[in-house]
Structure 1
Amino acid sequence: MALKLKTRRSVSAPSSAPRQFKAIILNSVFSDWSQDDTILSEECLTRMKRGLGIVGIEATVVQVKRDIAGPLKKFDPREYVVFNWAEGIDGEPNAYDKVPPVLEELGFAHTGSDAWALAASADKAFTKKLLLENRIPTPVSKTYERAALNGWRRYPALVKPATEHCSFGITRDAVVDSPQQLKERIQYVLDTWKCPALVEDFIDGQEFNVSVWGNGESAQVLPISMMDYSAFPDYHDRLCTFDAKWNPDSEAYRLTAVQCPALLDKTLKRRIERVALATYKALKIRDYGRVDMRVRNNVPYVLDVNANPDITMEGGFARSCRAAGFDYGQSIAKILTFAAERMPAL
């Protein structure tokens, strides 16, 4: 899948002083949601709005399907900052990059990355290219549009959809040990996810989720989380599968522990922080993001980059914020404050 990257643009130059503002929580609604999906979305929105209210920020929830601009036209961009919690548009659930241009055309400052960074980080093959160009360690990889191995000889290998997120397609079967298993898994990705397969060297080492927030030279690494896979003797299970992330009834979810802040020696901690900040800069991530990595021989290798990562109360980013001393409302307010620096002039 070709990545179409447009010229980056911003709403305005950052202002020199903090602005008072109200918040719009922009959230997607999808026609294929189940009743449980709808209930969960409403609970998350209620929590965010309540958290902002506690810290003194008036917030209005705006839910959209395909028309993003219409519901926002009654709001003044000089008074409101948009918390962009829209995960695409109805019928295109992964079209994160289609939302920022609409907000910017209306004149709104919004949280999170622009269309370029969202598109770049969503394409795992393009992300790899950027990492290598910036000399950031990442596992050796190849992208396949058909199940021909083309000289791949590194095993075990991890096979994942090149343009999916949220660990879609990541199960224990995604870790393969032979050419035959590799061919079968590539074909599975092509048939099931309708996108190229990314194959990479599987690093059976410590895994870290590194949350970063802020912009430019002021970007900061929040307390680092370490995934604890010690309950799994088989390395095929020592990875963050879809079930481990999202299915509370699964063994993977129950047995995967998280240590935050991770207990690290100073040298390794500094290395992880440097790699995370370099990645944040290379992908032009804005306001907040997360970098996932594994360590082999004390070298942190970047596995995945998340612009606008999961920001729910139970998610990894909020966990790191809590470890840094910020409750949920304070964390969301902090991200909004970063975006408020881009509000149009009064």
Structure 2
Amino acid sequence: ILGNSFGYFETVEDDIRVLKEVFRVLKPWGKVLIDVADGEYLKANFKKQTWEWIDKKHFVCRERTLSSDGTRLISREIVTHTEKGVIADHFYAERLYTKKDLEELMQKSGFSDVRIITELQTLSKRNQDLGMMERRIIVTAVAKKDWAPLRIKAKDRTKNIVVILGDHRKPDKLKPNGIFDEDDFYTIDKMKSALKEIGGYNIIYLSNHDTLVQDLMKLKGKIDYVLNLCDEGFGNDPQKELHIPALLEMLGIPYSGAGPRCLAYCYDKSLVRGIAKEMGIPVPKAVFIKPEDTTFEIPFPFPVIVKPNFGDSSFGITQKSVAFNPEQLVNAISEIREKFGYDKPILIEEFLQGKDLTVGIVGNPPENYKVLPIIEEDYSSLPDGLPRICGYEAKWLPDSPYWQIKSVKADIPESVEKFIIECCIKLFERLECRDYARFDWRLDSEGNPKLLEVNPNPGWCWDGHLAKMFYLSSLTYKDMLKAILEATETRLKIREEVKSIF
């Protein structure tokens, strides 16, 4: 809203109505910028009477005065023609908003993150009367809101789905501040925007876990399936991630992603290691440490990496998790126990220092699936001395040097790539993954690949590893979500015969 064109209505309520309409038409996370007169400055510095030539035959006279309550500047402009006399005589009034007034006005209208960017001082080469334009304030704000329900034409064939998310009202111990923050809400809005762009769905979002059971029972029989994006777990407890699909199983509601048994398997790193070894799939050497163990032996050389045996999202894995000697090992275990409050078994693995790889699969082997481009972590931006890992700091702490890690297309021999993909497909089926999954691998110093962990229902965010694989395929975040929906519908046999994004 430029050119000082705001604030000319009769009342403050009229201005609020204008801003509320701006808020309504903006997309979620859209921004507004307002260029408005600096009311505090004008109130003290306005010129009561001025006149000036507009051109050779026209001149304008202006008179200004404050309203009786001091909140508006009332102006009269008389335009005179040298031959025809007065040709215009009109009044107008602008409300004199201060910076504080504007901030309160924006907030009352629903906007967030209100910022006063700068003050503009207008200069005139011919010393003209600048009036309201003499000194202005630039204000910006963000429209943080949910997407409006999509209006579907009756003739369009649509599916009714429910999206289950983590509960932003509850604490979440995995997050740095223990609660959902601005990045989380932005990520959720990006997801909602992408799903809306796909079209063809009536979507209901459920995030209140206190009423989740009742809400789902009311919707049973009225929806086609649930898109389960609740990787936080029921009640934001990661140990209860499997509770969501278990609940859906009991209610008889179809859903996307892995079932409770798969999530239980893969939450236990040691269990996955055992299954992989049984299948002939290589894993790093490791030692399993129970909470009551006070002494233990490491039958392989340093360096090692210390991990919580249960968990995901790199919980408890930081630069201090890599130990090059016994003292650092003790400190690494203490940090997981004390800083992260983890009191369950710990896994001590040999620390592999080759390429750090991730494989993504969307679909359901052996028939309908797609292996995405394998990516590797580019650690070239890390300062010397920091261990090359993509842990908690890389995913959650923007001020950490690990935040600068980038994911790039993996540069590995064809034979290694083929072996890794074959192993991932076998694990996908053996662990009963469904619709989409991610597999983390690392090469040893001789270039031999070893499985680190399996991630069913991996992170669905727009900047996550799965999304990065789609970007490398010249596909979009919307395409990623669409592929997950397609995989789910194909498995559930409710998908129409349409062309796949692949």
Q: Secondary structure at the match of 2:165?
A: strand
* Aligned residue type for 1:277: I
Paired residues in the alignment total 325
In the other structure, the counterpart of 2:467 is 318
Query: What displacement does 1:106 show?
Result: 2.0
The one of the two structures with greater contact order (alpha-carbon pairs below 8 A, sep at least 6) is 1
In the other structure, the counterpart of 1:288 is 436
Percent identity at matched positions?
A: 26
Distance change >3 Å, CA 147–CA 202, structure 1 → 2:
farther
Contact 2:303 2:323 in 1 (8 A): yes
Query: What displacement does 1:328 show?
Result: 1.8
Q: Secondary structure at the match of 2:235?
A: coil
Structure with higher Rg: it is 2
Query: What displacement does 1:73 show?
Result: 2.5
* Aligned residue type for 1:26: I
2:214 aligned with 1:70, yes or no? yes
Rounded Cα–Cα distance in structure 2 between residues aligned with 1:122 and 1:111: 18
Rounded Cα–Cα distance in structure 2 between residues aligned with 1:138 and 1:152: 15
Contact 1:211 1:289 in 2 (8 A): yes
Rounded Cα–Cα distance in structure 2 between residues aligned with 1:344 and 1:265: 38
Contact 1:209 1:290 in 2 (8 A): yes
2:447 aligned with 1:298, yes or no? yes
List 4+ stretches of structure 1 deviating above 4 A. 33-36, 233-236, 342-345
Of 270, 279, 287 in structure 2, the residue corresponding to residue 125 of structure 1 is: 270
Of 21, 29, 32 in structure 1, the residue corresponding to residue 171 of structure 2 is: 32
In the other structure, the counterpart of 1:101 is 246
In the other structure, the counterpart of 1:169 is 316
In the other structure, the counterpart of 2:200 is 57
Distance change >3 Å, CA 76–CA 151, structure 1 → 2:
closer
Provide, for residues 38-63 of structure 1, a one-character-per-residue CA deviation record: whole Å limited to 9, x for no partner: 54443333222221221223222111
Query: What displacement does 1:310 show?
Result: 0.6
Contact 2:160 2:222 in 1 (8 A): no
Rounded Cα–Cα distance in structure 1 between residues aligned with 2:365 and 2:178: 41
Rounded Cα–Cα distance in structure 1 between residues aligned with 2:342 and 2:233: 17
Structure 2 gaps of 5+ residues are 1-156, 495-502
Q: Which has the higher helix share?
A: 1
2:348 aligned with 1:199, yes or no? yes
Single out whichever of 224-233 and 124-133 deviates more from structure 2.
224-233
Query: What displacement does 1:119 show?
Result: 0.9
Rounded Cα–Cα distance in structure 2 between residues aligned with 1:330 and 1:81: 19
Contact 1:125 1:162 in 2 (8 A): yes
RMSD between aligned residues: 2.4
Rounded Cα–Cα distance in structure 2 between residues aligned with 1:128 and 1:35: 30
* Aligned residue type for 1:279: L
Provide, for residues 31-84 of structure 1, a one-character-per-residue CA deviation record: whole Å limited to 9, x for no partner: 226797254443333222221221223222111324432112232446422110
In the other structure, the counterpart of 1:252 is 402
Provide, for residues 121-164 of structure 1, a one-character-per-residue CA deviation record: whole Å limited to 9, x for no partner: 11111111111111111101111012412353421111111112
TM-score, length basis structure 2: 0.60
In the other structure, the counterpart of 1:3 is none
Contact 2:300 2:350 in 1 (8 A): no
* Aligned residue type for 2:170: S
In the other structure, the counterpart of 1:11 is none
In the other structure, the counterpart of 2:224 is 80
Rounded Cα–Cα distance in structure 2 between residues aligned with 1:116 and 1:20: 31
* Aligned residue type for 1:326: L
Structure 1 gaps of 5+ residues are 1-18
Query: What displacement does 1:184 show?
Result: 3.8
